[in-house]
Structure 1
Amino acid sequence: MDFSPLTDAIASRFYDKIADICDNLMLHVAAEGIVFQCEWPYAIHLLGHIYAGDINSARFLWKSIPSEIKDSQPELIAAWRIGQKLWTRDYDGVYEAIRGFNWGPQTQPIVAAFSGKSAYCSSAAGRDVTVQTESYTKKMFQLLLDAYSTISVQDTALFLGMSEDDATKYVLQEGWILDSASRMFTVKKQSIVAEQKLDPSKLQRLTEYVFQLEH
């Protein structure tokens, strides 16, 4: 079975393409009547859906995997544990699931990229490279921006999966304000400046409407 498109995507850090590549490969081999269950990279396939934020597809894939495969692949179970925590919105549990398994050389960079932590993996040249991309941590930070105007240091650290010191440094760099006495952050909302272009026809109708009101 040719997994080179998948291998190339992982090597190039195109983790957002993993799920589609695996889905297409699975459809192809199924159409050819090829038996692939034992050698299929289920953990990578599952992590691909998780990385893409498609938890529904991750759940469907998990349910379709035979029990004997699940029982024989601890890394697959560990990958689904991340999916379970996301499904139940157990944000602190997501980080615990990530940290609670010794990931293999192929899955480690995917998990590291997803979590937003810097991780080291061996490159083809035998050198250590740092893997860091758009991350779950950044997504969680955006959630905090949208949901809170004030939040405790403890809860912030919980959501971001960091120590309280690291979480404090992280959000202070984003302009948040810390009240040391209450240990509460004031959340700095991101300002969105939208350029509004007025349609000439709308301007004409507005002018006519104002004229009617005045007369």
Structure 2
Amino acid sequence: MQSLTHDDLDALKCRLERETERKETSENEATVQAYLQLLTLKLYYNELVDAKFIWKTIPQSYKDMKPEFLELWKVGQALWKRDTAEAQRLLKGYQWPESVSSLINLLQERIRETTLILLSKAYSSISKQNLSEKLGLSAAEATELATKKSWAIDTASGMVHPKPLLTGAASTTDNKYISLESLRKLVSYLEN
């Protein structure tokens, strides 16, 4: 998979949902890969309740066949606990198969961007070391990223002073929609 647009990811997610709904009984590689990609996309879209449901419905034989399922679910558990540093560590520390590596890279970027926005709102200063851990980057990479975001860096104390990142009006609308959508899914999950 080359660089994917948001529309490409939506289309892929829909195709994979249809494919896994068929619940093919044969343990063919295409079905196993479809489940793996769908689980990755659910994490990418931060649809953690859906990801948990998919995890529980994936046949045990598929999980046994591919250790990537367990590694990916560990990432899902870290995201559920809002431990983005652990999620980044897990994503970075595993050799992902080619079939999901581009999706994993997009997931890492999404987690990093979300973390940057949260850090910019929550901290007036943060150590370079703490910043690098939360972003899943080396100290040098984290400092470079902070510089790109126009954050002040105090080299004497080793502290980074984040500036609130503008997320835009469209992003605010998207966040409201995502929150409402998450609430709808949670109510649906609890009722069923």
Between the two proteins, what is the percent identity of the paired residues? Answer: 28
Secondary structure of the corresponding residue to residue 98 of structure 1 = helix
**Aligned-partner Cα distance in 2 for 1:190–1:174:** 8
Is 1:112 the counterpart of 2:105? The answer is yes
Q: Which structure has the greater CA radius of gyration? A: 1
Consecutive unaligned residues in structure 1, runs of 5 or more: 1-9, 117-134, 195-215
After TM superposition, the structure 1 stretch with the greater mean CA deviation from structure 2, 83-92 or 14-23, is: 14-23
Is 1:159 the counterpart of 2:101? The answer is no
Structure 2 counterpart of 1:56: 49
Paired residues of 2:128 and 2:159 also in contact (CA < 8 A):
yes
**Aligned-partner Cα distance in 1 for 2:27–2:42:** 18
1:22/1:166 CA distance change after superposition, 3 Å: same
Paired residues of 1:49 and 1:58 also in contact (CA < 8 A):
yes
Alignment of 1:79-90 (within 5 A): 79-90=72-83
RMSD, aligned CA: 2.3
Segments of 4+ moved more than 6 angstroms? none
Consecutive unaligned residues in structure 2, runs of 5 or more: 170-192
**Aligned-partner Cα distance in 2 for 1:109–1:97:** 16
Paired residues of 1:154 and 1:164 also in contact (CA < 8 A):
yes
Secondary structure of the corresponding residue to residue 106 of structure 1 = helix
Task: Count residues in correspondence.
Answer: 163
Structure 2 counterpart of 1:187: 162
Is 1:147 the counterpart of 2:122? The answer is yes
Query: How many angstroms does 1:63 deviate by?
Result: 1.0
Is 1:22 the counterpart of 2:12? The answer is no
Q: Which of 1 and 2 has higher RCO (CA within 8 Å, sep 6+)? A: 2
